[in-house]
């Protein structure tokens, strides 16, 4: 829980500090972002059910290319390797010349969990400051799996 609290605090401070010179422009109709290429990290995860067997440090790496297509691998919460492939979509909620706040979703397929390959549709909140993205990902409960909130770093290139 402390990791997620720290992540939210860093997001808030980064967004506020980057916007001190100019107010954010709010758009009531979100605009679809054209997503640049990015290298993406694994995840730092918090699970709704406390269980020492669940891994919260999901080491991994991936890439996002060609306007949102993404593929990667990470060591998941049940201590197995996962591979994912899909497409990410983001909609800009607020931005200025220094930073932006987006909501999005990643849809596709993921392996490494009980039951084999699964379809994924994962909501996210993304703060972008220059070439760095910090994503907070919400993974809903699937059958017996706990709700998971994960943080991910991405570097745009």
Q: For residue 138, give Cα distances in angstroms to 28, 43, 150.
A: 23, 12, 7
Q: pLDDT tens-digit profile of 31-42?
A: 566 899 999 999
Question: 126: burial class by Cβ within 10 Å (0-12, 13-18, 19+)?
Answer: buried
Range of the domain at 102: 2-156
pTM of the model: 0.77
**Structure-block tokens of residue 101:** 């706040």
Please determine, for residue 27, whether its predicted confidence score (pLDDT) is greater than 90. no
Q: What distance in Å separates the CA atoms of residue 127 and residue 98, rounded to the nearest whole number? A: 11
Name the nearest CA neighbour of 64 among 98, 5, 100, 104: 104
User: Which domain CATH number covers 86?
Assistant: 2.40.160.20
Number of domains in the chain: 1
Q: What distance in Å separates the CA atoms of residue 110 and residue 112, rounded to the nearest whole number? A: 7
């Amino acid at each position: 829980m402390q990791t997620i609290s720290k992540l939210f605090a860093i997001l808030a401070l980064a967004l506020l500090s980057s916007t001190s010179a100019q107010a954010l422009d709010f758009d009531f109709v979100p605009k679809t972002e054209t997503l640049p290429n990015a290298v993406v990290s694994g995840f730092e995860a918090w699970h709704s059910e406390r269980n020492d067997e669940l891994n919260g440090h999901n080491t991994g790496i991936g890439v996002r290319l060609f306007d949102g297509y993404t593929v990667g691998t990470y060591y998941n919460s049940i201590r197995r390797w996962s591979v994912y492939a899909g497409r990410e979509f983001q909609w800009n909620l607020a931005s200025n010349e220094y930073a932006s706040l987006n909501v999005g979703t990643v849809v596709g397929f993921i392996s490494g969990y009980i039951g084999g390959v699964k379809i994924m549709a994962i909501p996210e909140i993304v703060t972008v400051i220059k070439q760095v993205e910090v994503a907070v990902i919400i993974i809903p409960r699937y059958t017996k799996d706990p709700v998971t909130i994960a943080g991910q770093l991405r570097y745009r290139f």
